[in-house]
C-alpha cells in the first residue's frame, strides 16, 4: 500500500466514496498517485483495503461540520460526490437537505480548512429543473457554490455536470431494462430516435481528476458538461445489449401505443403507492421525442477526451448484473 494521506503532499478527500461514482473515483485517484482520504456515512470496508488507509476514513454525516473540517485538514482538493441520486424516491425537502445543505456544509468546511479546489458532481439535468426534485436540488447547490465562491478567494470551485453515467454497478433506469432483456422477458423496442448523452463512470472520474489538475481560471460559474461525445438512441443501446449477450433481437416488438400504456400504468402505480419505479409518462415522453439540445453542450471540458463507449463497457456491465444474481 502507498503512503497514507498524512504522509503525502498529494492529499485529496472524497465524499460519497462507497457509491457508484465514488468507488470508481477512489480507484482512479489512487491509480494517478493520489493519497485518498474518505468521508462517508458508512464504515470502512474491505473493498477499500490497499486503496485507503483505515486511519484516513472519516465516518459521519454531511451535517457534521466539525468532523468535516477535520477531514479537510491538509487536503488539497475535495471531490464532493455524496448525495441523493436521481433514482431516489424522496420528497423535495429530503433532496434539499442532502444535496443542498450537505453540499453547503462540505464546501464551508473545505474553505475553512484552506482547500485549494472543490470539485462538485452535479448533473446535466440542472437545465431541466421542472422535471424532478433531484434536478432542483442540484441546481440549488450549484447556485450556492457559484454565489459563495465568488467571494472565497482561496478555494476554487469546479462543477461537473455529467450526462447519464454507465459502467459496472450502474444504478439508473437502464438497469431494469437490461435485467429484463437478459432474462428474455423484453420484446424489441419500437424505433425511438431520442438522443441520449452519456458518459462512462471511469471517464467521468478521469474528467474530475483532469479538472482538478487543470489551470482553470477562477470565475463565478465555472461549470462543465461531461459526455463521451457519442449520439446514443434507445435503438443503439438495445443493439449494444443484444450484441454483448450474443443474441438477436426478438421478433416480437412493442408498439408505441403499448409502450405508452405501460408507462401510464407504471405512473398510476407510483402515484397510488403500490410500486416505486422510475418508469412513467415522463420517461415515455423523453424516449419518443428528440430534443437536439441534448448534444448542444454549452460548457464542454476543453481538451478532455473520453476513451470508453457504451458498447465497450457493456460486457462488464452485464457481468456486474450477474455478480448480484440477476
d(CA 36, CA 271): 43
CA-to-CA dists, residue 22 to 27, 48, 259, angstroms:
9, 11, 34
Cβ atoms within 10 Å, residue 158: 22
- Locate the DSSP E strands across 54-197: 57-59, 77-80, 117-121, 156-162, 164-166
d(CA 58, CA 123): 26
pTM: 0.88
d(CA 174, CA 176): 6
pLDDT by residue (tens digit) across 297-307?
455 677 788 99
Rg, C-alpha atoms of the chain: 20
Q: What angle do CA 12, 64, 72 make, to 5 degrees?
A: 20
CA 140 from centre of chain: 17
Q: What is the pLDDT of residue 192?
A: 80
Which one is predicted more confidently, 222 or 165?
165
Which one is predicted more confidently, 190 or 226?
226
Mean pLDDT computed over every residue of the chain: 86
pLDDT by residue (tens digit) across 235-252?
999 999 999 999 999 988
The DSSP-derived string for 119-157 is EEE--GGGGGTTS-HHHHHHHHHHHHHHHHHTT-SSSEE
Pick the CATH number of 5-162 from 3.40.50.720, 1.20.1050.140, 3.40.50.970, 3.60.10.10: 3.40.50.720
Judge residue 99's burial from the number of C-beta atoms within 10 Å of its C-beta, 0-12 exposed, 13-18 middle, 19 or more buried. Answer: buried
Would you tell me the crossing angle of helices 102-113 and 133-149 to the nearest 10 degrees?
Answer: 20
What sign does the dihedral 89-93-95-98 (CA atoms) show?
negative
Query: How many angstroms separate the first and last alpha carbons of the chain?
Result: 34
pLDDT by residue (tens digit) across 15-26?
999 999 999 999
State the DSSP H helix or E strand holding residue 27, giving kind and residue range, or none if neither. Answer: helix 20-31
pLDDT by residue (tens digit) across 34-73?
999 999 999 999 999 999 999 999 999 999 999 999 999 9
Amino acid at each position: 500500500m502507498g503512503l497514507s494521506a498524512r504522509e503525502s503532499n498529494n492529499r485529496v478527500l472524497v465524499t460519497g466514496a462507497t457509491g457508484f461514482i465514488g468507488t470508481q473515483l477512489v480507484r482512479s485517484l489512487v491509480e494517478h498517485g493520489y493519497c485518498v482520504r474518505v468521508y462517508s456515512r458508512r464504515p470502512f470496508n474491505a473493498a477499500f483495503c490497499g486503496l485507503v488507509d483505515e486511519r484516513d476514513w472519516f465516518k459521519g454525516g454531511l451535517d457534521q461540520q466539525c468532523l468535516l473540517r477535520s477531514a479537510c485538514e491538509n487536503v488539497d482538493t475535495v471531490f464532493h460526490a455524496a448525495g441523493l441520486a436521481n433514482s431516489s424516491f424522496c420528497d423535495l425537502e429530503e433532496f434539499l437537505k442532502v444535496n443542498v445543505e450537505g453540499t453547503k456544509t462540505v464546501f464551508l468546511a473545505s474553505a475553512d480548512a484552506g482547500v485549494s479546489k472543490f470539485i462538485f458532481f452535479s448533473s446535466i439535468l440542472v437545465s431541466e429543473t421542472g422535471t424532478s426534485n433531484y434536478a432542483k436540488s442540484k441546481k440549488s447547490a450549484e447556485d450556492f457554490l457559484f454565489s459563495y465562491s465568488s467571494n472565497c478567494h482561496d478555494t476554487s470551485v469546479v462543477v461537473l455536470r455529467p450526462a447519464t453515467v454507465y459502467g459496472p454497478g450502474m444504478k439508473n433506469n437502464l438497469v431494469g431494462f437490461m435485467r429484463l432483456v437478459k432474462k428474455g422477458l423484453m420484446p424489441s423496442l419500437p424505433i425511438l430516435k431520442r438522443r441520449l448523452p452519456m458518459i462512462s463512470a471511469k471517464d467521468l472520474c478521469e474528467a474530475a481528476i483532469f479538472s482538478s489538475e487543470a489551470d482553470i481560471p477562477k470565475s463565478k460559474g465555472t461549470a462543465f458538461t461531461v459526455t463521451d461525445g457519442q449520439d446514443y438512441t434507445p435503438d443503439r443501446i438495445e443493439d449494444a445489449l443484444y450484441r454483448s449477450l450474443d443474441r438477436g433481437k426478438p421478433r416480437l416488438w412493442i408498439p408505441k401505443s403499448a409502450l405508452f400504456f405501460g408507462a401510464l400504468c407504471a405512473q398510476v402505480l407510483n402515484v397510488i403507492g403500490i410500486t416505486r419505479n422510475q418508469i412513467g409518462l415522463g420517461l415515455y415522453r423523453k424516449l419518443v421525442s428528440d430534443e437536439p439540445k441534448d448534444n448542444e453542450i454549452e460548457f464542454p471540458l476543453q481538451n478532455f477526451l473520453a476513451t470508453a463507449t457504451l458498447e465497450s463497457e457493456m460486457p462488464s456491465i452485464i457481468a456486474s448484473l450477474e455478480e448480484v444474481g440477476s
